Every structure is written in structure tokens, then in C-alpha cells.
Amino acid sequence: MDKVRVLFVPGVDADNTNAQSLNVREIALRLDPGLLQSTLWYEREPDPRLLNRDGIRLLQLPARGKTLRIARELLAGYDVVAYIDYSLASYFFLHLPRAVRGRTKTVFHAEAPQAQLTNPSRGLQFLYKGVFPGCDVYTAITEFVARDLYNSVRKQAAYVLPVGVDTSLFTGPAQRKRSSVPTVLFAGTLIERKGPQYLIEAAAIFRDANFRLVGAGREGYQTVLQEKITQMGLNNVTLEGPKTQSQILEIMRASDIFILPSRLEGIPKVTLEAAATGLPCIVFRDYETPSVVDGITGFQVATHDEMLQRLRQLISDSSLREQIGHAARQHVLQFDWNLVSRLWQNAYLEIAAARPA
């Protein structure tokens, strides 16, 4: 039997911390090379784990003419094009006649509710309208996102494919210290939608805890946050900028509580990583993430007042943090990439075997 050929659209450069890039690498590393061959893009230096791996083919994008190069590769007769994106190359490919595209199936992986596409530029609106409706297969990261996909745009998710975490890498410290000054961690892009501003407000209330905000700012929002910290005279908050995956791991091991005040997510990858290191997590229940079991591995809250109430509970009770953190670690084992990747592999094999619509 011929191998199923899968072209992944996101780049896999070693320094790329985009969630889709990280997901693609973990999936490709675990696909059965006897059944599938993955083709991956990079620009400068690929993730070294991908080098010289059976079943993985790496292509370097040129400094100029990237769109043309990708468009040409899309026509190379792949069985599956995964993680199709809002790009000119994708637009071009999806507007070709089916006879030209041949057996290739394009897969859109929905990783968040449709409402996350807020205030798009005119260019993005054009690409969205030209790419999203024309894909062959849609998948969703959770059952909630699958429902949203259908209710919002009447697209049926053929598969629910969660993301995972490397539980052999993300582990907690041998013994987490019971600090009298617990550390509350936020990790993610510093934009208003993610809610880092609420941690600053919490820091003003809980002066007996330290707050670490890790992540790259976007459109100068980190400056807005720093000005707020300065104006409020807070010395228990630090903005630490973007970090590598290994640095985030060490920061999580040195923290006590993880909080993500965003109200629009799928499965936040960072909550899986935090749980794997034994951190209780506080998230909003708006998007029903399966990474946090309310009252067992953390808390899913409805309001900011409830967020503060649960945060107070965890800050004041080290035994509760330890109990919930242990449960979080046990729960997240079912999201280990070695298990999750099998779902992706089975989906790609079935998609490739189906007739084009």
C-alpha cells in the first residue's frame, strides 16, 4: 500500500513558538512512517528533532517567492493538506478546478470558536471568505468548538481532534515547595483578549502573592500593562517577555497556580502544560475546555469575581493546591501526545481514503 502523503502548512522552525507550529511538530514526530509521509516547511533552521527522521520530509522556503513556492507544492499530488491557512497560496489552490487539484483533500482544523476572528482586516476578510468555505474537511479541537462551528457557519466537524502535551517533558518538580508567598502564573500572548490585565488587578488585591506574566506583547499592549503596574505601585508583578518552551517549563515548576483569564479559546495548550507540571488552573468556563475539570484539577469560573474568589482559595491553602495539582497531573495523562496523535493519524488515513466531495 502506498503511503499517505500529508503536507502540513505551518512552518516548523526551531524558534517558532506559534501553537500550530508546535502541534504540527508533535504530530509529525509520532505518525507511523510506514503509513504516512509528512512534508513540513521551514525558513531558517528546522526543529532539530525533525532532522533525518523516517517519514518526514523537510522543505526550506526561499527568501523570496514564498507564496509561489507553496502554491507549487500544493499541486504536487498530496493526499492531505493539513492546517490549511488564510494565505494567498491556499486561496489560489482552492479556486482551482477539482480536476486540477486531483485527489488532494484540504483540512481546516478549527482550534477556537469562530468569534475569535474579531475585527479582521479587509485582506484577511477576503482570504477568509475565499479559503474557509472551500475546504474539504473540517475538524474541531473540542466538542464545544465543533458545536460552534456548526451553529456559526453550518460546517460539520468530521472529527474532534484535541491537542496534547508531552508528559515526559512537562513534569512537576520532585517536591513543590510550600511557599508562604505563592506564585501565580500567566503564560500567553499579551493582548487584551487573553486577559492579562486581570492579573494586575488581582495583584493589587493579593499583595501576599507574586504574579508572573510570561509572553510576547502584541501591538504595544505590554507597554499598557507596564504603565498600569507602575501607576498602581505594584512590586509583586513582573512582565517577563517571551520564553522558549524549556524556559516556560522551568517557570511552571517554580510556580504554584496557573490562571488564564481569556474567554475565547479551544483547549489552551498552556493549560495542558501547566496541569502536567502539577499546577491547579483557573480558566473561564465559556469555552468548556476539557483540560480543566472544575473543582477537581482546577476551577472553571463564570465571572471575574468568582475568579478572584477561587484565586484567594488557592493562594491561602497550600494543601489544596497540592491536592488539585496532583489530580491535574493524573487527568492530563490522557492528553499525552503519544495517545492523541493516534486520533490524528486515524483521521488522516480516513480522509485520504475518502472520495473527494
What is the domain range of residue 203? 183-335
Helix (H) / strand (E) containing 58: strand 56-60
Is 16 inside a domain boundary? Answer: yes
Nearest of 85, 67, 74 to residue 39 by alpha carbon: 74
If one counts the domains in the chain, the total is 2
Domain check: are 96 and 196 in the same one? Answer: no
Q: What is the mean pLDDT of the chain?
A: 95
Same domain, 139 and 233: no
In a domain, 178, yes or no: no
Residues 20 and 159 in one domain: yes
- 212 and 327 housed in the same domain: yes
Q: What percent of the chain has pLDDT over 70?
A: 99
Give per-residue pLDDT as tens, 192-249: 999 999 999 999 999 999 999 999 999 899 999 999 999 999 999 999 999 988 999 9
- Mean local confidence (pLDDT), 98-102: 93
Domain assignment present for 253: yes
Is 331 found in the same domain as 193?
yes
| In a shared domain, residues 10 and 110 | yes
Residues 200 and 277 occupy one common structural domain: yes
Indicate whether 150 and 191 sit together in one domain: no
Together in a domain, 263 and 341: no
Residue for grid cell 526550506: 60
pLDDT given for residue 356 in this prediction: 63
Strand order in the sheet with 36-42: 56-60, 36-42, 4-11, 80-82, 105-110, 137-140, 159-160
Residue 28 lies in a domain: yes
Cβ atoms 13, 355 nearer than 8 A: no
Residue 171 lies in a domain: no
Contacts of 100-103 with C-beta under 8 Å, sequence gap 24+, read 100/75, 101/75, 101/356, 102/77, 103/77, 103/79, 103/356
% the chain with pLDDT above 90: 91
Residues 136 and 15 in one domain: yes
- Residue 258: CATH number of its domain: 3.40.50.2000
Task: Determine, yes or no, domain membership for 177.
Answer: no
* Residues 211, 257 contacting (CB under 8 angstroms): no
pTM: 0.93
Residues 117 and 125: their CA atoms lie apart, in Å, by 9
User: Are 296 and 347 contained in the same domain?
Assistant: no
Inside any domain, residue 228: yes
Q: Is the pLDDT of residue 157 over 70?
A: yes
Do residues 209 and 318 both lie within one domain? yes
- In the predicted structure, residue 163 carries a pLDDT above the cut 90: yes
Cα–Cα dist 242/224, whole Å: 17
Domain membership of residue 174 (yes or no) is no
**pLDDT tens figures, 251-305:** 999 999 999 999 999 999 999 999 999 999 999 999 999 999 999 999 999 999 9
